[in-house]
Structure 1
Amino acid sequence: MDFSDDFGYNVDYNYNYTYESNDTPHEEAVFHHQTMCFKEVLCVLLLVVSVVIFLLGFFGNALVIWISGFKMKKTVNTTWYLSLAISDFVFCAFLPFDIINVVMEDWVFGRFMCKFASSVMFLNMFSSIFLLVVISIDRFVSVVFPVWAQNHRTVKKATVVVFISWLLAIVLSFPSVIFREVGTHMGRTICYNNYTLYQHGHTVVAVSRFLAGFIVPFVVIIICYSIIVLRLRTNRMTKSSKPFKVMSALVAAFFVCWLPYHVFVLLELNHQNYDHSILVAGLKVVTALAAANSFLNPVLYVFMGNDFKRKFKSTVLSKMENAMGDEGRTTSRYLSRSSSVDGRASTHI
């Protein structure tokens, strides 16, 4: 996770303040730092939440990867969901580094992991939102241009789009590789953001992440879904909205989890104008909320199927497979119906 320090404010080392003073963080330790986390209620609660997120996210997404990657037929829909699950799985796999960091209040994993573990958080953020944008555009094309989608919507093309989305996410995650550093302060080793060599580096990174990772994707998704709803109402195919139920839940979960994080990161740019304790506590909470998004996706796959009671009686595996399978079958039926409607219309013309 992208946590940083501001020694001038002497805040907890593992949250999103930034070291920007003229002093060097590589100072000689004059005493041994002792962890205070277990003496703070908020820290203990967030630690428990992090462990729960890790367990649910790691095993839940591993299950989605196994089902969508090995147990189900390769389709465009399963390609999207497989990629989302891989993104969340990788993020959860690195959560233990942060959990140990919180408990020990000491970064013991070295400079490489300081940079790499932070990059993984933003790789997860960007890859998830880009995939949600891609899926929204895919839904838009399927509804507005059903015949074209039926002829050109292939697994191979979907795989290429996923690869491009991941490549772009990697590029946008690269600032963590540049700015993350390891230093010592007050007897502890810390992993922090060092913007001292770049006057406007902090502002540029925060604003660019907000625009590329939230505002622009939000606008694209809203436009796509607005057109989809209008088209469905115009064609009186309200039953065909079922394929968008899981996707709508995924989008809503992403924005609910990530919007507070971006808000507090932007507030941090002018942290001198806000109450220090509230800002620090808020950053802790919203970062945990952002991490929670990684385990919500497999939960949504399970409980957003057609009949909850029927799925509840079935096994966990069949729950997830049915939830994702219904998505593909319903979309296929919708494309077939739309194709025949367009065909009759062209005959009359």
Structure 2
Amino acid sequence: MNELILQVLTFIISLFGLAGNASVLWFLGFRMHRNAFYIYILNLAAADSLLLCLYITICLIEFILHINIFTNGFIQMGVFIFYIAGLSMLSAISTERCLSVLWPIWYHCHRPRHTSATVCALLWALSMFLSILDWASYYHLNTTEKHYKKVDLTIIAWLVFLFVVLSGSSLTLLGKMLCGSQRKPLTRLYITILLTVLVFFFCGLPFGIYLFSLEWILNFSQVHFYLYMVVIILSCVNSSANPIIYFFVGSFRQRLWGQNLKLVLERALQDTPEEDEGGGSLSQGTLEMSGSRVEQG
């Protein structure tokens, strides 16, 4: 009974999260003027949506067939790809914002065009390569346990690197906002990034730790099954929370509840100080100019 409750909870959270991320994909992909950060957010929403689709599939198959489909190699590979890609995109967003704060002149004047699209493509390719390599070495390459663990260690090293980059850039942003004589003005983009990172630390990180420690220190049992379900639920919350963060930040202190979702999303990603808003909502042109100083596409 407890297992059924956890599976239903996972299914419901994933459905709502998928709807929210689909809205973000729609607006950023087809309805809004793209810039550097929009491209990262678009790819992050894509990774979260695909991961949630996998969770929904897992719940349906386990509910109907009563088997642990998560142990299937293809399912694991898909989860690895989208989890690594999501963490990679989040690290890239935080790092890019950190660079724009530390070296604003270089960032706005000399940053190569199409950097965001190139970085996202490379991160997706690397996520797929590492996940497929892990799957192939375990199921098809007849490698020894020693060789397989080397592949696993390589993936873990990459995740640790991403975590260090994410932590370092986030702390730098926080320090620039709160400390020193040259504090940067608070913008909604700052708040959006920091809240997204905070949610990942509490909800996304436990899943990564569990996922890549499973082969090393855990033996599957009933207790570990409940632990697995808990980290799956936390991962669902992590992948579902970003649209809620965008809506909350975009509508905070503005009477936009129930109004234009496109405007709410634009406000959540705007990079102009709060005091520059003049107590009212910014026009469409102002919102686009605040984010498009760097690149188009």
Q: TM-score range by the shorter chain?
A: 0.7 to 0.9
- In the aligned structure 1, how far is the partner of 2:37 from the partner of 2:181? 24
Change (3 A) 1:286 1:203: farther
- In the aligned structure 1, how far is the partner of 2:113 from the partner of 2:13? 31
- In the aligned structure 1, how far is the partner of 2:40 from the partner of 2:105? 21
> C-alpha offsets along residues 39-60 of structure 1, whole Å, 9 cap, x if unaligned?
x22x112221222133112221
* Segment of structure 1 superposing worse, 155-164 or 201-210: 201-210
Which residue in 2 is equivalent to 1:198?
144
- In the aligned structure 1, how far is the partner of 2:172 from the partner of 2:250? 24
Q: Which has the larger radius of gyration?
A: 1
The 5-angstrom pairing of residues 239-278 of structure 1 reads 239-240=185-186, 242-265=188-211, 266=213, 269-271=216-218, 276-278=221-223
Which residue in 2 is equivalent to 1:343?
none
Q: 1:96 aligns with which of 52, 56, 67?
A: 56
AA aligned opposite 1:239: P
Which residue in 2 is equivalent to 1:168?
126
Change (3 A) 1:175 1:220: same
The 5-angstrom pairing of residues 22-37 of structure 1 reads none
Structure 2 unmatched runs, 5+: 274-285
Structure 1 unmatched runs, 5+: 1-39, 182-193, 337-349
**Which protein has the bigger helix share?**
2
- In the aligned structure 2, how far is the partner of 1:223 from the partner of 1:308? 30
Q: 1:105 aligns with which of 40, 57, 66?
A: 66
AA aligned opposite 1:255: F
Which residue in 1 is equivalent to 2:115?
157
Which residue in 2 is equivalent to 1:136?
94
CA contact 1:76–1:154 (8 Å) conserved in 2: no
CA contact 1:268–1:279 (8 Å) conserved in 2: no
Q: How far off is 1:67 after superposition?
A: 0.6
CA contact 2:33–2:288 (8 Å) conserved in 1: no
- In the aligned structure 1, how far is the partner of 2:97 from the partner of 2:45? 19
AA aligned opposite 1:158: S
- In the aligned structure 2, how far is the partner of 1:334 from the partner of 1:160? 18
The 5-angstrom pairing of residues 167-316 of structure 1 reads 167-175=125-133, 177-178=135-136, 198-200=144-146, 203-204=149-150, 206-213=152-159, 215-232=160-177, 233-240=179-186, 242-265=188-211, 266=213, 269-271=216-218, 276-305=221-250, 307-308=252-253, 310-316=255-261
Change (3 A) 1:93 1:280: closer
AA aligned opposite 1:278: V
Q: How far off is 1:68 after superposition?
A: 0.9
Q: SS state of the match for residue 94, structure 1?
A: helix
The answer to whether structure 1 residue 75 and structure 2 residue 35 are counterparts is: yes
Change (3 A) 1:100 1:196: farther
The answer to whether structure 1 residue 123 and structure 2 residue 81 are counterparts is: yes
- In the aligned structure 1, how far is the partner of 2:107 from the partner of 2:16? 35
**Number of aligned residue pairs:** 277
Identity of aligned residues (%): 22
Length-normalised TM-score, structure 2:
0.79
Q: How far off is 1:159 after superposition?
A: 0.7
Q: How far off is 1:211 after superposition?
A: 3.1
Change (3 A) 1:164 1:253: same
CA contact 2:100–2:107 (8 Å) conserved in 1: yes
- In the aligned structure 2, how far is the partner of 1:204 from the partner of 1:312? 51
User: What is the CA RMSD across the aligned residues, in angstroms?
Assistant: 3.4
Q: How far off is 1:308 after superposition?
A: 4.7
CA contact 2:40–2:120 (8 Å) conserved in 1: yes
Q: How far off is 1:324 after superposition?
A: 2.6
Q: SS state of the match for residue 311, structure 1?
A: coil
- In the aligned structure 2, how far is the partner of 1:63 from the partner of 1:119? 26
* Segment of structure 1 superposing worse, 74-83 or 276-285: 276-285
- In the aligned structure 2, how far is the partner of 1:58 from the partner of 1:299? 12
Change (3 A) 1:335 1:170: closer
Q: How far off is 1:246 after superposition?
A: 0.6
